[in-house]
Structure 1
Amino acid sequence: MEQKGLFARMARKEDPRNYADKDGHLKPVLGLREMIAMGVGTVVGAGIFTMPGIVAADYAGPAVVISFIIAAIIAGLSALAYSEFASAMPYAGSIYSWANVIYGEFVGWLAGWAVLAEYLIALALISASWSSYFQGFLSSFGIALPKALTTSFSLGNGTWFDLFGALALLVVGHLVSRGVKGAAKVENWLVIGKIAVIVLFIVVGATAVQLQNWVPFVPKHVPGTNFGGMHGVMMGAAQVFFAYIGFDTIAANSAEVKNAQKTMPRAIVGTLLIATVLFVGVAAVLTGMFHYTKFAGNAEPAAWALRQSGHLFTANLLSVVALVGMFSGLIALMIGGSRLVYSFGRDGLMPKAFAKLDKNGLPKNGTLVLTILAVVLGAVFPVGMLANLVSAGTLIAFIVASVGVLKLRKRQDIDHSGYKMPWYPVLPMISALASIGLFVSLNKDALILTLVWVVVGALVYVAYGAKHSTKD
């Protein structure tokens, strides 16, 4: 392809009518209840029992509550932008498809590529955590795997493969490949059980709160570190931000939603409100039960705090629900991620086989591809160093969506009869700047890894996508 032809292809925008036609084969079977359950299932994962304690000890102290609120406000601004896009263009692939229409093929591809990293790494991290929790659960019955099968590949530790992590992903992939309606029903029940135990923790834990543990609420900044002061609060917000990937997950399923113009905005905003209340409640109670320094290096601070307070039954119940919570998160991520892979194949930027639908109108190949990639990443390669890349991918998507609203309003070929982001154009601009501010707060490793991933994505586009795109 000549250089001029390449740049022309990069700038070409998708006709929204083409996406409506292509995604018309996906069946709209999901309602508001299923979409909120999917969103909450992703946002409120097992991390709700671990992140508040870890971020309090390492960054913000009791002000971890403020970190969650700041992250929620920034995510909330982006949620409004997502709501407008999901209402106007209910297509599979969320930000990838929207950016293709608004910015052009190359920007759309890079936005989708960033979100793909988000899905893959989140699936890998959660499956690894699920495996660790499950092995701990089995060890209480005297059951243990051979060391080589306990975690990801490491010659130094003598480990080769995370067996349970891989099995969890395979089970979830199979469940999702059988249909989103069935998977959504399972998700509904898992989320209801998880929320019930979170509320139980807040109620029971509140009886053990000691007010002096919240003093000082914002610890002084420790020079040379990321702890304390508003610096620590903002660093904490950057750490917890990836949890709010949930509404991106449900936006990716817009093409399979009934009455999408009304359902999608309600599901996105509802997910964020429910999740924020739960996160803030757990963080406040946890840091009130014990001094935040007690949670340093503690992988299960909520269960530990309950056990130390004499609530053994609730602590054990919480540990079991953590397993359930992670599984529900895997389901939601697998559904959203597989629809993104389907979207890549639909447009020819990845092999068209990825977009092939089975007799039930389901993208089984897309689900299979995502499952295999997540198994390889999570069960074979160490993924701890990649954790911050999840936040980076999320923030890139939010910046693209917020700025995109400014361009979306000018399009006359798109139906704007549904939800609109308020206070246009000021609020979209504030949303974009807030996400940019949080993005630059990520640590250097995350920024470098993000740059590398984006460069790889650009090379994939030039080598394959630009030559096989199905745009006329």
Structure 2
Amino acid sequence: MASFKEKIFRKEDPNVYQDKDAHLVRTLRVRDFLALGVGTIVSTSIFTLPGVVAAEHAGPAVALSFLVAAVVAGLVAFAYAEMASAMPFAGSAYSWINVIFGEFFGWIAGWALLAEYFIAVAFVGSGLSANFRGLIEPLGVVFPKYLANAFGSDGGVIDIVAAIVMILVALLLSRGISSAARVENILVVLKVLAVILFLIVGATAIRFSNYLPFIPAYHANADGSAFGGWQGIYAGVSMIFLAYIGFDSIAANSAEAINPQKTMPRGILGSLLIAVVLFVAVALVLVGMFKYSDYANNAEPVGWALRQSGHEAIATIVQAIAVIGMFTALIGMMLAGSRLLYSFGRDGMLPKWLGKLDSKKRPNHSLILLTVIGVLIGSLFPFAFLAQLISAGTLIAFMFVSLGIYGLRPREGKDIPKPAFRMPFYPIMPTLAFIGTLIVFWGLSIDAKIYAGVWFLIGLVIYFSYGTRHSYLEK
């Protein structure tokens, strides 16, 4: 019987993961990962966050908040690219940290990511529902409150649109990753075209006086948060960072990549670069069209700005495509979340049923559980509550992956293959990635940190009561 210390630090053999994941079919190319990444990153956030953050924290300097957040995300993305190239296993950070630091630390990283996927699936489903209902309302189609809102919120019982959308995406994914990738590629192109259309039309309404002063003077908001100065930019970074976390969804599917040594780095870094350009461009055009304060308490700043500029038809087109485009984020999140749950079942850390593949080698058992939990969370918790919970879990996993490079390098070319891509400026860049992520985490709301702590405690209870006794490493 292994001692407590031996259980905590026992590491998985990378060859075992290679064998276990060999049953998954490798069908995804660079273009599929670019679509997955852009589809997940450029989701609801690009049509809402630039206006919200400008009004609440940064003013016209919201573009700087997006850039700073992108730099931190970029540092972590380099670590992700090396990890995914060296260890193309399902489960991303969970599997990597299990190999590098040991089972307990892998569980913490994976459990933190699981919170992101459960909540993000519900969050995107709720956001899609709200935007869809807003789009059809002018046509006279209004859902009763008990079918439009989460349980206990403004007379709500269930957000029926969110539930139906999640089930439809699950049915698409259950047919196989190739079918989902084809749909994802088409929808992402549509969504990027909608963003470009907004940029072209919105640029004609820019007034340069709206950019002045670019960094407003600092003052404290009524709720104690910062507005203006570097403090406002920093407050914006922590709020914006959730927009960039989508590249983990690429890494989670690396066991299904063709030639992952090259495919994974190109997919991770390429999708982040495209997303950054689009986010910064939308932020600059939006605050140039109207005074940043006009976007206060505005849930759809892009559509509002177009309508106020006299472009109602364009506003309707952009919003319609935005709603369709939210399917891309849901596909990416549900795909990655189901692969993470599969990884837990594969290793015996959660019931082994989750790690079983169907007759066509698809992890549909884990997909069913993810869908059920996503529907329940989306039905029970309102959109605003879900928004503040997403970043915390992912940031914890990002810190593990950044430090994991120090454990990976000495083993490359030995028991782990030497990857085609390596994080530049080693050993300095992994430390910068860790510090940057820690600073962003520190800027999250107190509520987000408390909920992260509660989720962490639940994870410890499950690990010590179930995981340690059923883990395949125990055998």
TM range (shorter): over 0.9
CA distance in 1, matches of 2:203, 2:134: 27
Match of 2:162 among 165, 173, 176: 165
CA distance in 2, matches of 1:385, 1:201: 29
* Residue 306 (structure 1) aligned with residue 344 (structure 2): no
Judge conservation of contact 1:389–1:449 (CA < 8 Å) in 2.
Answer: yes
CA distance in 2, matches of 1:458, 1:166: 30
CA distance in 2, matches of 1:432, 1:117: 20
User: In 2 relative to 1, CA 272–257 (structure 1 residues): closer, same or farther, beyond 3 Å?
Assistant: same
CA distance in 1, matches of 2:431, 2:61: 27
CA RMSD after TM alignment: 1.2
CA distance in 2, matches of 1:181, 1:332: 13
CA distance in 2, matches of 1:149, 1:5: 52
CA distance in 2, matches of 1:241, 1:76: 11
User: In 2 relative to 1, CA 38–135 (structure 1 residues): closer, same or farther, beyond 3 Å?
Assistant: same
Judge conservation of contact 2:121–2:334 (CA < 8 Å) in 1.
Answer: yes
Say how many residue pairs are matched: 469
Identity of aligned residues (%): 50
- 2:8 aligns with 10
Match of 1:421 among 403, 420, 423: 423
- 1:111 aligns with 109
CA distance in 1, matches of 2:367, 2:198: 35
Aligned letter for 1:61?
Answer: G
- Which residues of 2 match residues 254-265 of structure 1 at below 5 A? 254-265=254-265
Deviation at 1:383, TM superposition (A): 5.0
- 1:220 aligns with 217
- 2:30 aligns with 32
- Which residues of 2 match residues 32-111 of structure 1 at below 5 A? 32-111=30-109
- 1:144 aligns with 142
CA distance in 1, matches of 2:47, 2:144: 28
Deviation at 1:144, TM superposition (A): 2.2
- Which residues of 2 match residues 25-424 of structure 1 at below 5 A? 25-154=23-152, 157-223=154-220, 224-411=224-411, 412-424=414-426
Q: Which moved more, 1:289-298 or 1:239-248?
A: 239-248
CA distance in 2, matches of 1:284, 1:143: 34
Match of 2:17 among 16, 19, 25: 19
Deviation at 1:143, TM superposition (A): 1.8
Judge conservation of contact 1:357–1:364 (CA < 8 Å) in 2.
Answer: yes
List gaps (5 residues or longer) in structure 2.
none
Q: Which moved more, 1:441-450 or 1:24-33?
A: 441-450
CA distance in 2, matches of 1:327, 1:386: 18
Q: Which moved more, 1:308-317 or 1:270-279?
A: 308-317
Aligned letter for 2:347?
Answer: D
CA distance in 2, matches of 1:199, 1:137: 20
Deviation at 1:277, TM superposition (A): 0.1
Judge conservation of contact 1:6–1:466 (CA < 8 Å) in 2.
Answer: no
Judge conservation of contact 2:210–2:291 (CA < 8 Å) in 1.
Answer: yes
Aligned letter for 1:133?
Answer: N
CA distance in 2, matches of 1:397, 1:381: 24
Judge conservation of contact 1:377–1:383 (CA < 8 Å) in 2.
Answer: no
Deviation at 1:245, TM superposition (A): 1.6
Query: What SS is found at the alignment partner of 2:226?
Result: coil
Query: What SS is found at the alignment partner of 2:340?
Result: helix
Deviation at 1:299, TM superposition (A): 0.5
Listed one character per residue, the Cα deviations across residues 186-208 of structure 1 (whole Å, up to 9, x for unaligned) are 00000000000101111110111
Aligned letter for 2:344?
Answer: F
Judge conservation of contact 2:82–2:419 (CA < 8 Å) in 1.
Answer: no
Aligned letter for 1:163?
Answer: I
Judge conservation of contact 2:37–2:247 (CA < 8 Å) in 1.
Answer: yes
Deviation at 1:159, TM superposition (A): 1.2
Judge conservation of contact 2:304–2:315 (CA < 8 Å) in 1.
Answer: yes
CA distance in 2, matches of 1:62, 1:145: 37
Deviation at 1:378, TM superposition (A): 0.6
CA distance in 2, matches of 1:446, 1:46: 20
CA distance in 1, matches of 2:154, 2:295: 26
CA distance in 2, matches of 1:358, 1:232: 50
CA distance in 1, matches of 2:286, 2:419: 44
Deviation at 1:391, TM superposition (A): 1.1
Listed one character per residue, the Cα deviations across residues 30-69 of structure 1 (whole Å, up to 9, x for unaligned) are 0000010000000000220110000000010011100000
List gaps (5 residues or longer) in structure 1.
none
* Residue 441 (structure 1) aligned with residue 439 (structure 2): no
Deviation at 1:390, TM superposition (A): 1.2
Judge conservation of contact 1:121–1:383 (CA < 8 Å) in 2.
Answer: no
CA distance in 2, matches of 1:161, 1:190: 27
CA distance in 2, matches of 1:208, 1:383: 31
Aligned letter for 1:45?
Answer: S
Deviation at 1:381, TM superposition (A): 2.9
Judge conservation of contact 2:36–2:184 (CA < 8 Å) in 1.
Answer: yes
Judge conservation of contact 1:121–1:377 (CA < 8 Å) in 2.
Answer: yes
Deviation at 1:342, TM superposition (A): 0.3
Query: What SS is found at the alignment partner of 1:111?
Result: helix
CA distance in 1, matches of 2:383, 2:465: 27
User: In 2 relative to 1, CA 464–383 (structure 1 residues): closer, same or farther, beyond 3 Å?
Assistant: farther
Aligned letter for 1:392?
Answer: A
Deviation at 1:393, TM superposition (A): 1.4
Judge conservation of contact 1:214–1:287 (CA < 8 Å) in 2.
Answer: yes
Judge conservation of contact 2:28–2:178 (CA < 8 Å) in 1.
Answer: yes
Judge conservation of contact 1:261–1:419 (CA < 8 Å) in 2.
Answer: yes
Aligned letter for 2:45?
Answer: G
